[in-house]
Structures are given as structure tokens and as C-alpha cells.
Amino acid sequence: MTRRPISLPSSQRLLSMPVPDPTPLTAPQRRAVAALLSVISPVADELGRLFASHGHELALVGGPVRDAFLGRSHSDLDLATDAPPERVLEITREWADASWPVGIAFGTVGMRKGDVHLEITTYRSEEYERTSRKPGVSYGRSLTEDLSRRDFTVNAMAARLPGHELVDPFGGLRDLHDRVLRTPGLAQDSFHDDPLRMLRAARFVAELGLTPLPEVRAAMAELAPRLEIVSRERIAAEFAKMLLADRPGGPSAGIDLLVETGVAEHFIPEVPRLRLEVDEHHRHKDVYRHSLTVLDQAIALEGRYGLQRDLRLRLAALLHDIGKPRTRSLLPDGRVAFHHHDSVGAKLARARLTELRFPNDVTADVAKLVGLHLRFHGFATGEWTDSAVRRYVTDAGPLLSRLHALTRADCTTRNRAKAIRLAGGYDELERRIAELAQREELASIRPDLDGHEIMKLLGIGPGPLVGRAYRHLLDLRLEHGPLGHERAAQELLRWARAEGLGDGDGPASAR
Ligand code: ATP
Ligand code: MG
């Protein structure tokens, strides 16, 4: 989805204004907030008037309100109303270009107006079925009650429509200003009710750079085992969003929170296990820290290889060394080796991502990248033959640019000379690949007519003349690019005349 930028000139100033605890705001602050929120979307305002005319409340909630204060654009509009879903469908039937009951069982109606996507959810109450995998839903009576069951205070703000009055019962604006992540109620209760919120915490750390309050971290550590009740699909979806955060250093900070609180242990235990390992050189640089650095570096290299927020590369960077704990062995000279950790890691990555229900093609690509991440090191130590370079390219196939990024990122040595040598080695490999590709592309160029057509047009049989005609057409092709069949035929006959092969009128005269 394309994110349309919205200009929010006053957002910085607003965030730096002291905000009373929690609200109400002073009159000038209220006006500033309303002015800021009013630029979110004219479509939402229009809908707000429509709901009001039918005697119902409507408010922008969560992401769009939060992001307006941060000066970030937000593509989808989340809204809340007191109208039940059937009524929402009825009120908007004429107005929306399309609507669909996304999760009508949970009170959500999705719709589109022009290129704006909206999700309207009926107020929810705080009640949950504590044992179920998904939170149970019963409709709530007020906007404040609805906000109280949201995940974090920064997401528990609303702007009533069409007036843009800010509703912020839990001090979300203050927390946004302080850059902290806090739950509206007790963190333990919140994570107990919906353990997925622990992953959402990591996502907002990654995306927004918020710092969880100590009680939020403590509740994560305490309730981590409860993640077992959440479906693997929901976990994978939040985890992927976290990994795809575009804030530099964001994804690794999110992972670190999940690992340090013990949450990661319950859905991707291979990652926290990396902490136990020392590296090849027995220098006790832990493989876990190395993996986070490789992830940061891989993300920084995406642009260079024409990639954008690339899930496969990011997963491969995080998981590239997960075969190490399994393959660790002590050599007679006291050093540590991890023989075949690439192929073992590929298997582990495949198993883990399959278990998390990642799409098969994503899983296969990540496993392949993990399996190939050491291949370059054979190149660094000795000369590669053309066929070895060719095999590297064909084995990587469509993943070649990701493999380039991953392999370059997998260099975290503090030894500058070594880092320069490795980068230079990779430059050389890429140069060889380009050179080979160019040579082979040239070698695969054919003239516009093949030998058979040449013989037919000139009315001659096999012999050296066919070869000369062929080379002439190949020269023209290399010089001018593709000529097309007809022009090539004319050029061939012209060449034949110049060579004194008859008048060029056709097969018979050329003999
Ligand atoms: P974005 O749309 O940028 O991904 P968002 O904050 O809008 O971020 P969504 O997943 O779209 O996140 O959820 C919309 C809103 O619904 C959130 O802002 C939050 O208020 C609420 N919410 C979503 N998931 C939960 C949850 N598991 N528990 C409580 N509240 C939630
Ligand atoms: Mg949203």
C-alpha cells in the first residue's frame, strides 16, 4: 500500500509542549491538537458527519492518531463507533465504494472510499474469555471503555469526528512525548488477556523507538510462557511487522527486547540460544550480538541492491548462524569449529519458519540464503574458476542480490584490515559475475536469420558461404542491435550482390 505523506507542520511543536497528566489539555493545546488531527483525512471527517446525522458516534483511534502526533503518515484509517456492525454497513451502504465484513464476528467492518481504506470497529468492552486463543468480544458502551482495552497508551487515543476533539484518558500524548511504552491498565492483566501484545510491544519499540516501562518489561518476562495460547499465524504476522520496521536499528532493538524478556524463547528459541556461543576464533564474541549486527548491516545494504524492507533478507540475516549451537566442536588446538553450520542452519530455519506458518516461498528462500551464506568464503581464499562463479550465480538464482547483501553484512570484525580484505574480495566476486554475464550475453547473441534461412534465401546448400553470410549478419546485429526478419533478409541479399553472388532477386539467381 502506498503511504500518502501528510504535512504536519505543528506536530513537533505540539509534542514538545508540556502535557498535563493525563488530559484535559489547555484551550490553546486543544485547538492545536484539533488543527493537527484535522489534516489526517477529509474522508474520515465526511464519514463522521454521516454517522452524526444518524445519531451515532465515530472517532479516529489508535495508529492514525498516534502517527499524526509523530508526523508520520498512516495509510489505513482505524475508527471506532457505538453503532453495531450491521448498522455500520447500513449507514455506509451508499457512501462507501466497497465494504466488507472483515471480522464482523469481532465487530469490524472494512471499507474503501476512493483510495482510502477504513476499518470501523464497534466499541468493545474489557471482557475477555481468558482461556481462548482469541480475545472474546462483547460490545462496549463508551469510547473511553473501548480505549481502556487497547494495547498501549500511545495507541489508546482517539479523535472524535467530525470535531477532532482529542480523547486521551490514559496519557498517551504524554507517553508519546516521553517516548515510553505503557499499558492503559496493569501490564500483567493486559498481557494475560492477550499475550500477542508482548510482540506488539517489540513492534512499537522497533517502529517508533519507544522504551517499555520497567513494569512492562517485567510483565513480559512473567507472562512470556502464556504466548503458547496465541496462534502461530498471529505471532508470525506481528514478528514480521517488527522485522520490517524502517527505523535504523529498530528491528534489532525489538528482537533484543523479546530475547531479554524471554518472550523469544517461546516462539523462536534458536535466537536466544545464540547467546551461549562463542565465535570461531574463541574470542567470546557472542553469536547473538553478531547476528543482530548482521541484521542491522543487511538492512543498511538493502538500498544498494534495489531491495526495500525485505523480509527474506532480514530473516536470513537474523537466522544465518542458528546452526552454530548444534555444530560446535572443539578442535585439538583449542579453537572452536562449527562444521556445516550453514546446511544445519538452513534446516533449522526451514523447520522454525514452517512452524510459524510463514508462506512456503518465504521459508524456502530464507533457508536457501542461510545455506549459501558461507559460499563466498571459498572465493576469498583462492581463485574461483569461471564455472565456480557461474555456479554461485545459478545456485542463488533470483536470490543473488539478497545473497550479496547477506554475505557483505556478515562481516562484523573489528579488525579493519580484515574487513577491508573481505569487502574487496566481494567487490572482486561481483566484478567477475558482471564480466562473465556480459561475456555470456554477447556469446548468446545470434543474428536475425539462422543458417537454414540464409541457405533458403540465397538458394545455396551448406558450405563456407553460409558461414560468411552468418558472420556478416552477426556483425550487423552486434553493431545495430536486432534488425528484424525483413530487414535482415534485405541486408543479406544486398551483401550477396556485393559479393557478386548474382543479382539478388531470389534463390534461383543467387546460385
Ligand atoms: P499500524 O496500522 O501502523 O500497523 P496500529 O497501531 O494501527 O499500527 P493495528 O494493528 O492496525 O496497529 O491496530 C489498530 C489499533 O487497534 C491499535 O492502535 C490498538 O489501539 C488496537 N489494537 C490492535 N491490536 C491490539 C491488541 N492485540 N490488543 C489491544 N489493542 C489492540
Ligand atoms: Mg492500523
Contacts of 332 (CB under 8 A, 6+ apart): none
Ligand 1 atom at minimal distance to the Cα of residue 200: 27
How far away, in angstroms, is 258 Cα from ligand 1 center? Answer: 19
**28, burial (CB in 10 Å: exposed 0-12, middle 13-18, buried 19+):** exposed
Any atom of ligand 1 within 6 Å of the Cβ of 65: no
Distance CA(49)–CA(55), nearest Å, equals 10
Any atom of ligand 1 within 6 Å of the Cβ of 197: yes
Q: Which residue minimizes the CA distance to atom 18 of ligand 1?
A: 62
Kindly write down the DSSP assignment for every residue of 152-206, as one continuous string.
-GGGS-EEETTTTEEE-TT-HHHHHHHTEE--SS-HHHHHHH-THHHHHHHHHHH
Closest by Cα among 61, 189, 198 to 128: 189
How far away, in angstroms, is 479 Cα from ligand 1 center? Answer: 59
Any atom of ligand 1 within 6 Å of the Cβ of 162: no
How far away, in angstroms, is 102 Cα from ligand 1 center? Answer: 15
Using the predicted structure, report yes or no on whether residue 383 has a pLDDT greater than 90. no
User: pLDDT tier at 101 (50, 70, 90 boundaries)?
Assistant: confident
Question: Across the strands, what pairs with 181?
Answer: 212
Q: Which residue minimizes the CA distance to atom 5 of ligand 1?
A: 63
Q: Which residue minimizes the CA distance to atom 17 of ligand 1?
A: 62
Any atom of ligand 1 within 6 Å of the Cβ of 88: no
How far away, in angstroms, is 99 Cα from ligand 1 center? Answer: 20
Closest by Cα among 144, 163, 142 to 153: 144
> Of 1, 144, 151, which is best to mutate to test ligand 1, by the most ligand atoms within 8 angstroms of its C-beta?
151
How far away, in angstroms, is 310 Cα from ligand 1 center? Answer: 22
Distance CA(507)–CA(458), nearest Å, equals 5
How far away, in angstroms, is 78 Cα from ligand 2 center? Answer: 6
Q: What is the pTM of this model?
A: 0.82
Any atom of ligand 1 within 6 Å of the Cβ of 448: no
Ligand sitting nearest the alpha carbon of 3: 1
Where is average pLDDT lowest: 67-71, 151-155, 278-282?
278-282
User: pLDDT tier at 500 (50, 70, 90 boundaries)?
Assistant: confident
User: pLDDT tier at 381 (50, 70, 90 boundaries)?
Assistant: low
How far away, in angstroms, is 150 Cα from ligand 1 center? Answer: 8
User: pLDDT tier at 15 (50, 70, 90 boundaries)?
Assistant: low
Ligand 1 atom at minimal distance to the Cα of residue 196: 27
How far away, in angstroms, is 63 Cα from ligand 1 center? Answer: 7
Any atom of ligand 1 within 6 Å of the Cβ of 103: no
- Provide the grid cell at 479: 553493431
User: pLDDT tier at 5 (50, 70, 90 boundaries)?
Assistant: very low
Using the predicted structure, report yes or no on whether residue 1 has a pLDDT greater than 70. no
Any atom of ligand 1 within 6 Å of the Cβ of 184: no
Q: Are 442 and 477 in contact (CB under 8 A)?
A: no
Q: Can you tell me the mean pLDDT for 300-311? A: 97
Count other Cβ atoms within 10 Å, centred on residue 399.
19
Ligand 1 atom at minimal distance to the Cα of residue 207: 3
How far away, in angstroms, is 289 Cα from ligand 1 center? Answer: 30
Using the predicted structure, report yes or no on whether residue 130 has a pLDDT greater than 50. no
Q: Which residue minimizes the CA distance to atom 15 of ligand 1?
A: 62
User: pLDDT tier at 378 (50, 70, 90 boundaries)?
Assistant: confident
Where residue 500 falls (left for φ over 0; alpha for ψ -120 to 50; beta otherwise) is left
Residue with cell 517516548: 179
Using the predicted structure, report yes or no on whether residue 102 has a pLDDT greater than 60. yes
Using the predicted structure, report yes or no on whether residue 89 has a pLDDT greater than 70. yes
Q: Which domains does the chain have, with CATH numbers?
A: 8-178 (3.30.460.10), 179-267 (1.10.110.30), 272-445 (1.10.3210), 451-510 (no CATH)
Q: Can you tell me the mean pLDDT for 369-385? A: 83
> Of 76, 134, 150, which is best to mutate to test ligand 1, by the most ligand atoms within 8 angstroms of its C-beta?
150
| The pLDDT of residue 509 | 39
| The pLDDT of residue 380 | 58
Any atom of ligand 1 within 6 Å of the Cβ of 194: yes
| The pLDDT of residue 45 | 92
Question: Across the strands, what pairs with 61?
Answer: 158
Any atom of ligand 1 within 6 Å of the Cβ of 207: no
